[in-house]
Amino acid sequence: MIGNSTSEHEFVKRLTKIVEANLQNEQFGVNELAAKTGLSRSHIHRRLKSISNKSVSQFIREVRLEKAKEFLEEGNLTGSEIAWKVGFSSPSYFIKSFHDYFGYPPGEYAKHTDEQGKNQELTISSEIVENQTKFFRKRKLMVWALVLLFVPLLFLAIRYFFQESGKTDLEKSVAVLPFKNLSDDSENRYFADGIMDDMLNHLSHIEDFRVISRTSTEKYRNSEKSLAQISKELGVSYIIEGSVQKFEKRVKIIIQLNDYNGNHIWSESFDRELDDIFSLQSEIAQLVASNLETVLSPQEIEQIEKQYTDNPEAYDLYLQGRFYHRLRTKESFQKSLEYHNKALELDSNYCLAYAGLADVYVTSTWFGNFTRDEGIPKSRAYALKALSIEKNLAEAHATLGAIAIYFDNDWEIAEKELKLAMTLNPQYPRAYHLYAQYLTVIGKEEEAHFYLNKALELDPSDRQLNWHNYYLYRREGNYDKALEFSDKIRFIDGNEKEYYRRNLDIYLRQNNITKVIEEFKNFQSKISSGVAPEMVDSIYAEKGKDGFIRFIIEFELKKSELFPYEIAAFYSTINEKDSAITYLERSFESGHGGLVRALGGKEFDNFRSEPGFKELIRKTNLEDIDFTQ
């Protein structure tokens, strides 16, 4: 781990050692370096920029190339062998990178060093001339000394100014705002959203970029905020806007790239046949990279140009399936399944459509629309089918990881699949989120926070990510932080009812009955239940704290959609062990995956020695985990 107080020289030295220890791993990049150091991508980026004016990916590449030069000096390896040893799977890309950095290809290294030797002899032979001009040089040195004294002070003043104004970090962080649907048919919004999603997916394969997920940009769909304000709220340097018009067999896409102040950098209009949509998306992503002065590696270009179907109609149906999946209702889940299946009727090898079906089934099962025995076998089968076509599909591996956590309780498979998903797509927030959920289940809260924060860097306004942070802090007993995240969720979704309900939960665990009563009244005011404030006061006066909490439990059982393990948590606050365990058992019988996450909560610490609780721990494969730490 590298601390914040590490000196600049030591900071660079340690980063260099970490990169050199992973030279042969061509996948070792910005995210892997951040994980090894324990620092965020943005923190490493800012420090390297201030020290050397280099991006993190540039720093890693130059460490590889400096090592390659050392191997050339030794003279024992061929150029291809050196390329492999320093993490370049493509010799041609290695030669290009070496030339760009040193000014000559690796094959001319010996010739270049000979020229350096001759230049050195020439320098020695000119010492007589140098001595003759010493007097004039001394005068120049005095002038330069004054300049060198003044320039650093000026540089520091300028740097301080920009740091204070929040504009020093020019990391290539990108947000893509929801594309406007300019089609005559308003129902074509799914197509505009799909083009936006695929733009995000293409850009996420570029190592130099940090790409904000669409859930964080969705709230700006009809926003009147300026681009400068949006970029500040999202913490990005660049904003991409776009519009899509689909008519018959043609599509017109307009793309505009802006900096964090809203200044226009580049724009272009594309009018193509619908059959060209796949090559067009790749072309746009590469143009964005070019306008941000990013040189793409062959691997990045390969990922960007990858096509999973050549059938535009199948693609269109897949986009509709993805659109309805995102709505998260029983009806929309069913529509999503229909559209994904129609896409597969047109292209039976469309791996993304199989991965989409897998995701719909696991998510819909979580929401209770399928029983575990109905939904999970289908989800697993479709994920495996997708991987039989494309083995490196991060989405399918993430779904298998989700199944392993919440329905199979197989921690080894969960870890393996989710680590693979993160490696295959280092900018896939769902993979980081699921891995954080896995770590939460097995009691590694500190590590869970780390991966949640990595997901939040990519998707800062995602409700589920912020809710998981709220839940994790509540579970740990850090109630002040839990309330902070409750406020963040309220800002994201504007749901006052759920806000008061969450806070009631926190105050109940804090044994702050006054605040429990206050938040319960606020909650009632948002649901029109007929429970007047004076009625709440009289119930507490008559029945006391435990009686009032039992009243809340009865109310929740009648009015809300709480899962059984959440009712068990209420009973735990008044130490009614038998009732709590009864509801935990009901949760297990229902097959809902959330139980495994709940069992590690501190509210159940007093129950862990109970036979019924021990049996649940055994059934859920958690007996080797120590939750009392």
Residue with tokens 């724009």: 267
**Residue 113 pLDDT:** 66
Q: What is the CATH number of domain 8-123?
A: 1.10.10.60
Which 3 state secondary structure label does DSSP give 537? helix
Q: Could you check whether 8-123 and 173-297 share the same CATH topology?
A: no
Rounded Cα distance between 240 and 196, Å, is: 10
Does residue 249 carry a pLDDT above 60? yes
Rounded Cα distance between 211 and 192, Å, is: 18
Rounded Cα distance between 461 and 465, Å, is: 8
Does residue 47 carry a pLDDT above 50? yes
pLDDT, mean over the chain: 83
**Residue 207 pLDDT:** 81
Better pLDDT: 137 or 255: 255
Better pLDDT: 315 or 93: 315
Q: How confident is the model at residue 560 (pLDDT cuts 50, 70, 90)?
A: low
Residues of the chain above pLDDT 70, percent: 87
Q: How confident is the model at residue 190 (pLDDT cuts 50, 70, 90)?
A: confident
Rounded Cα distance between 466 and 208, Å, is: 26
**Residue 42 pLDDT:** 66
445 close to 572: Cβ distance less than 8 angstroms: no
Does residue 121 carry a pLDDT above 50? no
**Residue 393 pLDDT:** 94
Better pLDDT: 1 or 558: 558
Query: Which of 228-232, 248-252, 271-275, 294-298 has the least mean pLDDT?
Result: 294-298
Q: Beta partners for 270?
A: 253
Rounded Cα distance between 460 and 429, Å, is: 10
Output the CA angle 373-377-381, nearest 5 degrees: 170
Rounded Cα distance between 457 and 443, Å, is: 23
The most confident of the ranges 152-156, 168-172, 254-258 is 254-258
- What's the CATH superfamily of 173-297? ABC-type transport auxiliary lipoprotein component (3.40.50.10610)
Region 68-97: mean pLDDT is 79
Q: How confident is the model at residue 120 (pLDDT cuts 50, 70, 90)?
A: very low
Does residue 408 carry a pLDDT above 90? yes
Does residue 133 carry a pLDDT above 70? no
Better pLDDT: 316 or 144: 316
- What residue ranges do the domains of the chain occupy? 8-123, 173-297, 308-374
**Residue 561 pLDDT:** 64
Better pLDDT: 230 or 44: 230
Q: How confident is the model at residue 2 (pLDDT cuts 50, 70, 90)?
A: low
Q: Write out the H or E segment, with its range, that includes residue 304.
A: helix 298-305
**Residue 5 pLDDT:** 53
157 close to 222: Cβ distance less than 8 angstroms: no
**Residue 149 pLDDT:** 47
Compute the CA torsion angle 522, 527, 532, 538 (nearest 10 deg).
-70
Does residue 151 carry a pLDDT above 60? no
**Residue 299 pLDDT:** 84
**Residue 276 pLDDT:** 87
604 close to 420: Cβ distance less than 8 angstroms: no
Q: Write 469-477 long-range contacts (CB < 8 A, 24+).
A: 470/502, 471/597, 472/440, 472/445, 472/448, 474/505, 474/506, 474/509, 475/440, 475/445, 475/600, 475/601, 475/602, 476/445, 476/602, 477/509, 477/602
Query: Which of 115-124, 403-412, 539-548 has the least mean pLDDT?
Result: 115-124
**Residue 6 pLDDT:** 64
Listed in sequence order, the residues at least 6 apart from 43 whose beta carbon sits closer than 8 Å to its beta carbon are: 4
- Tell me how crowded residue 586 is: count the other CB atoms within 10 A of its CB: 16
Does residue 282 carry a pLDDT above 60? yes
Does residue 426 carry a pLDDT above 60? yes
Q: Which of 201, 188, 181 is nearest to 307 (CA)?
A: 201
Rounded Cα distance between 580 and 59, Å, is: 55
DSSP letter for each residue of 414-465? HHHHHHHHHHH-TT-HHHHHHHHHHHHHTT-HHHHHHHHHHHHHH-TT-HHH
Region 210-229: mean pLDDT is 88
Region 164-185: mean pLDDT is 72
Q: How confident is the model at residue 628 (pLDDT cuts 50, 70, 90)?
A: low
**Residue 419 pLDDT:** 95
Q: Tokens standing for 548?
A: 């009032």
Listed in sequence order, the residues at least 6 apart from 279 whose beta carbon sits closer than 8 Å to its beta carbon are: 305
Q: Tokens standing for 619?
A: 């059934």
What's the alpha-carbon Rg for the chain, to the nearest Å?
29
